[in-house]
A and B are shown apart, each in its own frame.
Chain A
Amino acid sequence: MTDLSNQTVAPKVVQKSRLRVFLDSDIYYTFRRSPVAVVSTIVVTILVLSAIFAPLIASTNPFDPASLNLMNGFTAPMTPNAFTGESFLLGTDDQGRDVFSTILYGMRVSLFVGVAAVLFAMVLGITLGLISGYVGGWTETIIMRTADVQLTFPSILVAMLIFGIAKGFTPIEYRDQMAIWVLIIAIGLSDWVQFARVVRGATLVEKRKEYVEAARLIGRTPYAIMLRHILPNVLSPVLVIATISLALAIIAEATLSFLGVGAPPTQPSLGTLIRIGQGFLFSGEWWILLFPAFTLLTLALSVNLLGDWLRDALNPRLR
C-alpha cells in the first residue's frame, strides 16, 4: 500500500469542452440509439444543404429566362430530348425548365418560409405566453381567450384569411415581392397559439417556484424575471413544438401555394411546382408533379420524425 497521508490531493478540475459535454449527454445517447432519428437527421441535413447551395448544385437557374430553351419542354427523365438531344435527370416541365433545378430552388423558398414562419410564431407565442402566465388576471384572460377562439378555425383558413387581407392592402406592383413575407406572417399568425399555451402552462409552474420569489424580493423587475429566470426554464417544450411546427408550416405553405394563394410564380415553392405539375398529370408527364411532391413528402416526414424523437427524448416520463 502506498502511503497517501503526505500527499496533498490537488482538486481535480477537468474542464470539458462543449463538444465533449454534448457527446456525453443523455440526448446524444438516445439520439445514437434511435435509427429513425439518425436517418431523418441525415435526410434533413442533405435537403437543407442542397437548398442552401442550390445555385452551385443546379445545372441551370430555372427562373432565368435566358437559360431556358422551349424546345426542351416535356423531356422525360433520363431520356434525350427528341429535338435538342439534351438529357435531364428528372426531366423538364412544359417550358423546358429542368425539374431537378426547380426542386432545389423551390425547396429554398419552402424552407425559408417554413423556418421564418415558425420563428415568427415562436417569438409571438413565447412573448404572449410568458406575459399571460406571469401577469395573469385580465391580460391572461384576453390573450388566452383570443387563442382559444383562433383554435376553433382550421389554421390553413386563418392563414388564407390573413393572406387575403394583406394582399388587399398591398399595391399591385409590390405584390409579388411582398408575397413571401405576407406568407410568413400569415402562417406564423395561424401557428402562435400552441407556443403560447405551452409557455403559459410552464410559466404558471415556474413562477410559483422559490427562485422566482428570491428574484422578486431583491427587487428585480417583472421583465427581468420573465426573460432571465423563467424563459430559460420553459424552452425545452418549445423546442419540440418548434420542430413539429416546422413540418406543419412547410406543409401549410405548400397547401397555400398549391391553392394558388401562396408563393408567386416568379418565386415558386414546392407547393407551386406541385400545382403546375398536376395540370400535366393526366397527359402522361408524371415527373413534373411526382418529383416535387416526393421531395415535399421526404422533407416534411423527416422533420416530423425528428420532432417526434425530440419530444420523446426531452420528456422524462416516457423514458
Chain B
Amino acid sequence: MALISVKNLTRVFDVSKPWLNRVIERRGKAFLTAVSDVDFEVTERTTYGLVGESGSGKSTIGRMLVGLLTPSGGTVEIEGVNLATETDAKKVDVIRSDIQMIFQDPYASLNPRWRVRDIIVEPVVARGGDATGLAERLLEQVGLSALDAGKFPHEFSGGQRQRICIARALSSEPKLIVCDEPTSALDVSVQAQVLNLMSDLKDNFGLTYVLISHDLTVVRHMADRIGVLYLGRLVEEAGAEDLFADTKHPYTKMLLEAAPQIDGFGREAALPEGEIPDPINPPSGCAFHPRCPIAKNICTQERPDLREVGQTRVACHFAQ
C-alpha cells in the first residue's frame, strides 16, 4: 500500500510587490508556480528520491508533504489522510507524529538555547509523552554518546548536529521522514557516514524516506524510486536502476552527463547548457525546450503529458 499519495499537487506563490509599488508602476500581481501537477506515490519502507536543479520545486514539495505549506491545488494523502483539509484533530495528531523531517542546515535546525536532550525529546514531550532516557538511547543509536544529552548544540560539529537532527526525527517513532538535502551542508567524508546511518536506521525502524537532493550520486545510493523535477513538474520517474540504465528524458540525460563520475575522472564533462528559466514566465509548451538538444516544433507548442513507457513515467514527446 502506498504510504504517501500525491495527486495533481500544485503550489503557487504570490511574489507581487507591495500594492503601492504596483499602483505606481502600473503592474499586476505576479505569481510564481513552484510546483505544478505533480503526481507520485511512495510505497511503505522504500526510499523515494526527488532530484532537480535549484528552483525546481523539490523543497516546496517536501514542505507540502510534511504539512509546513498548504497546497494551492491537488492533494497530499498520508495513510489516506489529507493534512490540509482533515478536521478531525485526533487523526491529524496521529499523522503528525508519523511524519518527521531532516533539514538541510544542521546549524539552523537546532535551537541554540536548548540542551540536546530537550531538543531530541520535544516531539514526544509536546504530545505529553514520557521521555525518560529516550534522548540517551537515541543518541547512542545515531552514533553519539549518551553523555552528549546535557550539552548545547554549539558544542558539536556539522555531522554530529545532523545526527542529533536524525535522533530528534526518530523520537516520535515516525513512519515517514522527509529529508531535505540532508547532506549537502556536510563534508564529503561525513556525508557517507550520515547516509549509511540513515540506511541502517531505515532497516531497523522500518522507515520510509523521501530524499530530496540535487546530488545524483546520493540519490542513486539511497533511493528505490526516483522522480526528476524540472521547473516544478515531474519530467521522469523510474526505479533507481532503470533511471540510470535506461534514461528516457533529455533533461535527465543532461543531469547524468554533468554529474561527476569516479571512473570517468579527467573526462570531458558535458556541462548542462543554459539555465533554469524564470518560473514566473515559464516557456510555452515543454518547459525544457529552450535547453533541449532534440526539441522540435511541437515542443514549443504542446506540453507533453507524463506517460508510461515501460517501467518509466516520462514527460517527453519523443521518449520511447
* Chain A residues proximal to chain B, CB less than 8 Å: 11, 13, 209-211, 213-220, 224, 229, 232-233
Contact = CB atoms under 8 A, between A and B. Distances in A.
Given A219-B96, A220-B126, A233 B68 contact: no
Interface in B88-132: 92-93, 96-97, 99-101, 103-105, 108-114, 119, 122-123, 126-127
Given A213-B103, A218-B127, A233-B113, 7 more contacts: A210-B105, A213-B68, A213-B101, A214-B101, A214-B109, A217-B99, A217-B101
Nearest to B168: A214
Given A11-B147, A210-B103, A233 B111 contact: yes
Nearest to B145: A11
B47 interface: no
A217 B67 contact: yes
B208 interface: no
A229 B111 contact: yes
A232 B153 CA distance: 15
B109 A210 contact: yes
A215 B105 CA distance: 15
A209 B145 contact: no
Contacts of B61: none
Contacts of A233: 111-113
5 contacts: A11-B145, A211-B108, A217-B68, A218-B96, A224-B126
Contacts of B111: 211, 229, 232-233
Contact of B126 (A209, A218, A232): A218
Contacts of A219: 92-93, 96, 126
Contacts of B122: 215, 218, 220
A155 to B, nearest CB: 30
Contacts of B112: 233
Contact of A210 (B93, B108, B113, B145): B108
Nearest to B93: A219
Nearest to B180: A210
Interface in B157-174: 165, 168, 172
Contact of A218 (B108, B123, B165): B123
Contacts of B114: 232
Contacts of A224: 126
Nearest to A232: B113
Contacts of B119: 211
A148 to B, nearest CB: 16
A66 to B, nearest CB: 54
B93 A211 contact: no
A136 B100 CA distance: 26
Contacts of A213: 68, 101, 103, 109
Q: Which 5 A-B pairs have the closest CB atoms?
A: A210-B109, A232-B113, A210-B103, A209-B108, A211-B111
B222 interface: no
A234 to B, nearest CB: 10
B96 to A, nearest CB: 5
B66, B122, B145, most chain A CB atoms within 10 A: B122
A211 B104 CA distance: 11
A220 B104 CA distance: 21
A214 B103 contact: yes
Contacts of A214: 101, 103, 109, 165, 168
A210 B104 contact: yes
Nearest to A235: B113
Interface centre among A13, A214, A219, A220 (most CB of B within 10 A): A214
A213 B67 CA distance: 10
Nearest to A208: B108
A224 B108 CA distance: 19
Interface string B12-40: 00000000000000000000000000000
A223 to B, nearest CB: 12
B121 to A, nearest CB: 11
A219 B97 CA distance: 9
Nearest to B99: A217
A209 B109 contact: yes
Contacts of B92: 219
Interface in B48-102: 66-68, 92-93, 96-97, 99-101
Contacts of A11: 145, 147
A13 B147 CA distance: 8
A216 to B, nearest CB: 6
A218 B104 CA distance: 18
A89 B93 CA distance: 72
A27 to B, nearest CB: 15
A211 B110 contact: yes
A217 B96 contact: yes
Contacts of B101: 213-214, 217
A17 B104 CA distance: 35
A220 B110 CA distance: 15
Contacts of A229: 111
Nearest to A230: B111
B171 to A, nearest CB: 10
A11 B69 CA distance: 44
Nearest to A224: B126
Contact of B172 (A209, A211, A218, A232): A218
Contacts of A218: 96-97, 100, 122-123, 126-127, 172
